[in-house]
Amino acid sequence: MKKVRLLSLLSVTALVTTVLVTAPTVANAAPACDGKSPIQSCVGVTSDGAPYAMQVPANFNGTVALYSHGYRYNVDIPAGIPLIGGYKITNTPEPVPGGNAAVAQYFFSQGIAIVGSGFARQGWNPDSAIKTNVELIGTFKAQFPTTTKVIAWGSSLGGVITQGLAEKYPELVSAVAPMCMADNLAPQLTMAGDFLWGVKVLFDPTIKGGNYSPGAAGVAESYGDLVKVFTVMGKLQAALATGAWPDTSSATGKALAAAGVPSRSALLLLGLMAGIPTQSAHFDSVSGPEGALKLTFPLALSPALAILENGTNAAALAVLATQDVENQVGGAFFDNTKTDYSARVDGERVIFNAALSGNTVIDALLGALSAANPGAPRAVANPAAVAKMQALHTNTGKINVPTILMVGMADPITPAGASQRVVDLYADQYAAEKAAAIKAYQTSRSYKTPTNKLLMLWNTTPSSYTKFDAAGSPITSVPAAQGTNHCNFTSAQLVLVAKSLVAASSTGKLPSGGALNTAVRKAGNLSVDKGIRAPWLKSYGDNS
């Protein structure tokens, strides 16, 4: 198999979203508006220093859409670091996802205003961001007193912020849409920690993977980790067909290599342990090139390639978010001293048995990664840091207002399981509401079926999508498949969410039935099938 030029083609644009509007940096009591028509633009800064932007159509109908952007790195990235080098911290406001013109145009066409801030701090920020949004809603209403309804939506970490806003201040919003929503901090960064720890103990023990020093020294250490992790991924990619191990591998890794364990099987196991999807932007784990690799490619190679692509895509965020949160809570929070990685992969080892090279190899790998092996030392958290982390904002998953979730089935950074968890929790909530309604009937003799308040839009992957060139090598220069990559939505899908939010805020009910099915079909690559189920993040245990 020809070498796959993978790393240079990976997209990280979804992590660091594009921006729309420049804004002043000095806090103002009221926004500065340009008074233009048909769209009036206003900018300002909240009391905590978050720049914001408002755009209000001349035919403003009283509804405003508040958007919360996703995670932005909280440190500048030196130019020499692969993939993400050159990034500068920015808190530029983002009133619609990625500055999407079609979305903005839709809202304006309906007489709906848009608003969004860049938040006061980047990195993991729901605590401050929710407060910022509350203030921003008040500021908007003060500036535009005819405001009657606020709809809120957000992507990735912005999904957490949006859900948090609806949980804490349901009276402020009439409908919300957390899209490609991250899970809470602990499960989300446990996923990152599991993968980084595995890469460290097998492929390069000089990777820190966490427990960074405070302040600038820790930032420098995280830069070093980024380079090392990307280097390891490059070496694994180069040796994917042969199964050779990186020259930086640990003694444990070298022993596995000597025992004939292919490095691709080790990489796949790490991905499965962490819960990284086995479908990626260009690897569907289904297709194979014509010829001798027709069956071998999907059975033995493609799942590892998918982990490589997804893992590389997620690694930067894993390292930098870990450093950021450690800095916030004062020490290491990732702890896998009690993690049973064998249990983590129990359901998947048979499915990917061929790519994992059979039970004998799987058992050898799990033995090497077990807590009993001193050659793979477990990460130990700082209890005080864990306590501080637990005090940071956590969503309960309670649904207070009509809510629309949308997520890619193979999102490598905010797995679909984060949304699945909310779906499952809401099923319990709805059942309880129904039981309460029945109980109330016994005294009032008036029964009202509780209104459904949750719509789940699954962004599905195509049945097969890996492309091969004439020589049988996979093509990674084509756009990422639907349902893969992080927050990889089309304008049509985003507009569908926007329309559904508007409808729900207007009627109090989410779209359903034939009208919804038609709209979903037209948006493309979405499903509302209740039979679809994504696994929760791994640290929750088995919730399949």
Report, in Å, the least distance between residue 100 CB and other proteins.
29
* Residue 195: φ, ψ to 5°: -70, -45
**Enclosing H/E stretch for 426:** helix 416-444
Residues 6 or more apart whose CB falls under 8 angstroms from that of 128 comprise 48, 50, 119, 120, 121
Contact at 8 Å (CB) between 23 and 118? yes
Provide the minimum distance between the beta carbon of 427 and other proteins in the complex, in angstroms, as a whole number: 6
Q: For residues 109 and 544, which CB has a smaller minimum distance to other proteins in the complex?
A: 544
Report, in Å, the least distance between residue 457 CB and other proteins. 15
Give me the helix-helix angle, 263-274 and 251-258, nearest 10°.
120
Task: Give 384 or 435: the residue with its C-beta nearer to other proteins.
Answer: 435
Residue 11: CB minimum distance to other proteins, A: 23
Find the length of the chain: 544
Phi-psi region of 393 (alpha: psi -120 to 50; beta: other; left: phi over 0): beta
Give me the least distance between CB of 235 and other proteins, in Å please.
Answer: 24
Nearer to other proteins, 14 or 300 (CB): 300
**Which token pair is 393?**
């904002």
Q: Toward other proteins, which CB reaches closer, 241 or 299?
A: 299
Residue with Cβ nearer other proteins (150 or 305): 305
- What whole-number distance in Å separates Cα of residue 186 and Cα of residue 251? 30
β pairing state of 403-408 and 454-459: parallel
Instruction: State the maximum Cα–Cα separation within the chain, in Å, rounded to a whole number.
Output: 75
What is the nearest approach in angstroms of other proteins to the Cβ of residue 542?
A: 10
Residue 398 CB partners (closer than 8 Å, separation 6+): 167, 425, 429
Helix axes 185-203, 251-258, angle to 10 degrees: 60
Residues pairing with 65 in the sheet = 114, 151
- Alpha helix ranges (H) inside 204-301: 215-238, 251-258, 263-274, 293-296
Of residues 360 and 396, the one with the C-beta less far from other proteins? 360
Distance of CA 277 to the CA centre of its chain: 12
Output the six-digit token pair for 157: 């970490």
Q: Which residues bind other proteins (CB under 8 A)?
A: 278-279, 284-286, 294-296, 298-300, 303, 347-354, 357-361, 424, 427-428, 431-432, 434-435, 438-439, 441-442, 447, 449, 463-464, 527, 529, 531, 533, 535, 543-544
Looking at the Cβ atoms of 101 and 435, the one nearer to other proteins is 435
Q: Is the CB of 148 or the CB of 359 nearer to other proteins?
A: 359
Residue 55's identity, in one-letter code, is Q
CB 394 within 8 A of CB 157: no
Least CB distance to other proteins at residue 538 (A): 14
Residue 505, CA atoms < 13 Å, CB-side half-sphere: 29
Q: At closest approach, how far in Å is the CB of 243 from other proteins? A: 12
CA distance 289 to 474: 8
| Closest CB to other proteins among residues 36, 439 | 439
**Based on CB atoms, which residue is closest to other proteins, 230 or 536?**
536
Considering the complex, what minimum distance in angstroms separates the CB of residue 534 from other proteins? 9
Shortest approach of other proteins to residue 430 CB, angstroms? Answer: 9
